[in-house]
């Protein structure tokens, strides 16, 4: 965790400096004179993040060896990639074909990405979930989702 703390601390230091030097001045105007600047609170939070991240880096440099396992396991990173890919495909299909195909693809590809291979289970679960959503919103709550 010490190594992870050091790396995340350095990244946050750089991030806060970039925000203070470029993003906040570029994205927030100074506001009318005589009033508190709209930049003040975002700048204060970034200064706080910079100082605390520096503490995090310094704290991780002290002490003995780092014998903790890495915070991100290979399986979790793979799961992140898989689920990101499922969302990317589902959103693309939603934009092209509409909500029904987008929602169906989210369930179907989600099941496939998590290791489900039985066609009947995939089909049944997709139909049950979408019908359930339709019944909940259109029949029970009496409103349209789209």
Partner 1 sequence: MEYLILAIGDVFGGTTLLWVAVGVTLGYVLGAIPGLGKAIGVAVSIPLTFYLEPVSALGLLIGIAKGSAAGSAVSAILLNTPGEPSSAPTAFDGYPLARQGKAQKALKMGLFASVIGDFVSTITLILLAAPLARYALLIGPVELCAILVFSLVFIGGLSGNSLTKGLIAACFGIFFATVGLETETFVPRLTFGYLELEDGISLVPMAIGMLAVAEMIVQAGNLDTLDRETAELRDSSDPRDRRVTREEWRRCAPVIARGTFIGAAIGILPGLGASVGSFLSYGETRRVSATPEKYGTGMIEGVAAAESADNAVVPSSLIPLFALGIPGSVIAAILIAAFILHGLTPGPLMFQQQPRMVAGLYVSMLCASAILLVIGLLGQRLFSQIVHVPLRLVIPGVLLFCCVGSYMETGSIFSIFIMLGFALIGFVARKLDFSFVTFLIGFVIGPKLELSFRQSLQLLKHDASNLLGHPIALVFLFAALVFVVMSGRSSVTRRVQMPPTTQQH
> Interface with partner 1 by CB under 8 A: which residues?
1, 4-5, 8, 12, 23-24, 27-29, 31-32, 35-36, 38-39, 41-42, 45-46, 48-49, 52-53, 55-56, 59, 62-65, 67-68, 71-73, 75-80, 82-84, 86-87, 90-91, 94-95, 103, 106-107, 110-111, 114-116, 121, 125, 129, 133, 136, 141-143, 145
What whole-number distance in Å separates Cα of residue 111 and Cα of residue 109? 5
Asked whether the beta carbons of 146 and 99 are under 8 A apart, the reply is yes
**Residue 136 Cβ vs partner 1, minimum distance, rounded to whole Å:** 7
Residue with tokens 């009947």: 120
> Which helix (H) or strand (E) is 27 found in, with range?
helix 24-27
**Residue 18 Cβ vs partner 1, minimum distance, rounded to whole Å:** 13
Q: What angle do CA 116, 120, 124 make, to 5 degrees?
A: 95
CB burial of 13-22 (b: ≥16 within 10 Å; e: otherwise) equals beebeebbee
Nearer residue to partner 1 within complex by CB, 76 or 101 = 76
Nearer residue to partner 1 within complex by CB, 18 or 77 = 77
**Residue 62 Cβ vs partner 1, minimum distance, rounded to whole Å:** 8
Beta-carbon contacts of 84 under 8 Å, excluding residues fewer than 6 positions away, are none
**Residue 97 Cβ vs partner 1, minimum distance, rounded to whole Å:** 14
Structure tokens at 22: 């470029």
**Residue 74 Cβ vs partner 1, minimum distance, rounded to whole Å:** 9
Nearer residue to partner 1 within complex by CB, 18 or 145 = 145
């Amino acid at each position: 965790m010490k190594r992870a703390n050091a790396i995340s601390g350095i990244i946050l230091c750089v991030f806060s400096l970039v925000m203070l030097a470029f993003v906040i001045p570029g994205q927030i105007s100074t506001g009318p004179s005589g009033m508190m600047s709209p930049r003040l609170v975002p700048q204060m939070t970034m200064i706080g993040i910079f100082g605390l991240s520096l503490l995090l880096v310094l704290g991780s440099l002290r002490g003995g060896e780092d014998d903790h396992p890495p915070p991100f396991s290979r399986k979790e990173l793979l799961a992140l990639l898989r689920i990101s890919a499922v969302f990317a495909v589902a959103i693309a299909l939603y934009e092209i074909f509409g909500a029904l195909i987008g929602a169906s693809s989210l369930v179907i590809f989600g099941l496939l990405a998590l290791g489900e291979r039985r066609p009947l289970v995939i089909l049944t679960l997709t139909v049950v979930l979408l019908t359930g959503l339709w019944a909940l919103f259109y029949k029970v709550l009496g409103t349209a989702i789209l």
